[in-house]
Structure 1
């Protein structure tokens, strides 16, 4: 009898606990299940988007090989509009910007490069876009705008190129001593066999000798 009473008390306590907290526990389990299902759906959705973006990017590559400027531009627009979160979109924008520059459409190139800078999460891609945009701004005689871009952090691999363009911008501002210093940093980061050294050395020579 004692055992039965103890069991009954435990059962009554469990029933009482369930009345108080059962609905909350059920709700929590439902939320967890919905969250897991939502996460699984999101992963599937992202995978599908990436696969679709890859197809469009493949078409862009074919357009690039065939030198079809309109196809490249259209495919890039599709990737930016429908798949902006994929790495294909930023790479396509870089390619399209280069093509736009070749055809003299600097306005479109600038817009595409700024989009890359604002949307990519890859440092290398972002810094490459910065370099290309800075070069455009220097062609437009906007050294201040170029320097503002070039003051952003950059990877060691880009040191020579960043400082070379900084030197160009400073020359446009007639800041010769600072330009010379930037060119020298660029030279220091290039090995002796790098053909880009000659290009920078010519610009250094054009600045004349250092003041005594």
Structure 2
């Protein structure tokens, strides 16, 4: 009975193998192929990413040189050879900038629209929307620019979006909304100097203006009187005269020698440059006449 049982087991195993052996072999083969295929795909993907990176680096290096045509060719090669890679969107952004720098707004618009449709990252798409809005603003297409700005949702781009929205409002002759947008951009951390300058350049409503009285101008300084020069200073000379009262008759004294009077001349000091000292005026001696003799009969 036991031997029979073993035979039955062998027969059952053979039967099971006949029914399922092929499927097992196929499954094993598929598993092996999947493992090797996945490894091959990863290797291929890494190789493609490396090649795309090298192609993009070559494009960036060419874009920094004056040869614009070579830069365009290298950028187009990135788009053609690696359209699914993240580098393709970055290359399209740079190609759009090259087009704008050369005045080709149509090509720039096409490149940016391609990025919006094909980029893998939402942030890259929003960057393309901002740049495309600038293109529309430069062309005077304010409605299209505003619609693109409404689609920008990346938080790190809020300041740039609000500032550009203010530019759109200002171009549409709406300074009140432009001021509000600039203020929002300033609060979001935008460029302090440029945004504040844009806000200051907008007309302030009369109700918000503060009137400040201007200070009175200082009184004009009166010129100081010029100091008198030494030459113009008047010199007063008074001769000394001796008066003799009449007395008893005496003999006439001998004539006295004439007295010489020396008068010092004061010189006024000059404030700026020293003046040439004035020559003292020569004073002639004043003779004193002797008293007339008195007659004895009087």
Using structure 2 for the length normalisation, give the TM-score. 0.62
Instruction: Show the counterpart of 1:209.
Output: 205
1:137–1:15: structure 2 CA closer, same or farther, 3 Å change rule? Answer: same
Instruction: Show the counterpart of 1:123.
Output: 122
In structure 1, stretches of 5+ residues that fail to align are none
Judging by fraction of residues, say which structure has more helix: 1
Cα distance in 2 for partners of 1:194, 1:180 equals: 14
Which of 15-24 and 168-177 deviates more? Answer: 168-177
Give the Å deviation of 1:8. 2.5
Instruction: Show the counterpart of 2:231.
Output: none
Instruction: Show the counterpart of 1:84.
Output: 83
In structure 2, stretches of 5+ residues that fail to align are 209-298
Once the two structures are superposed, the pairs formed by residues 183-194 of structure 1 within 5 Å of their partners are 183-190=182-189, 194=192
Instruction: Show the counterpart of 1:195.
Output: 193
Contact 2:159 2:186 in 1 (8 A): yes
Instruction: Show the counterpart of 1:42.
Output: 41
Contact 2:92 2:115 in 1 (8 A): yes
Residues paired across the two proteins, number: 208
Cα distance in 1 for partners of 2:118, 2:206 equals: 42
Higher relative contact order (CA 8 A, sep 6+): 1
Cα distance in 2 for partners of 1:134, 1:199 equals: 22
1:210–1:140: structure 2 CA closer, same or farther, 3 Å change rule? Answer: farther
Contact 1:190 1:197 in 2 (8 A): no
Instruction: Show the counterpart of 1:18.
Output: 17
Is residue 135 of structure 2 the alignment partner of residue 136 of structure 1? Answer: yes
Instruction: Show the counterpart of 1:146.
Output: 145
Using structure 1 for the length normalisation, give the TM-score. 0.84
Cα distance in 2 for partners of 1:183, 1:58 equals: 36
Cα distance in 2 for partners of 1:210, 1:8 equals: 109
Contact 1:160 1:189 in 2 (8 A): yes
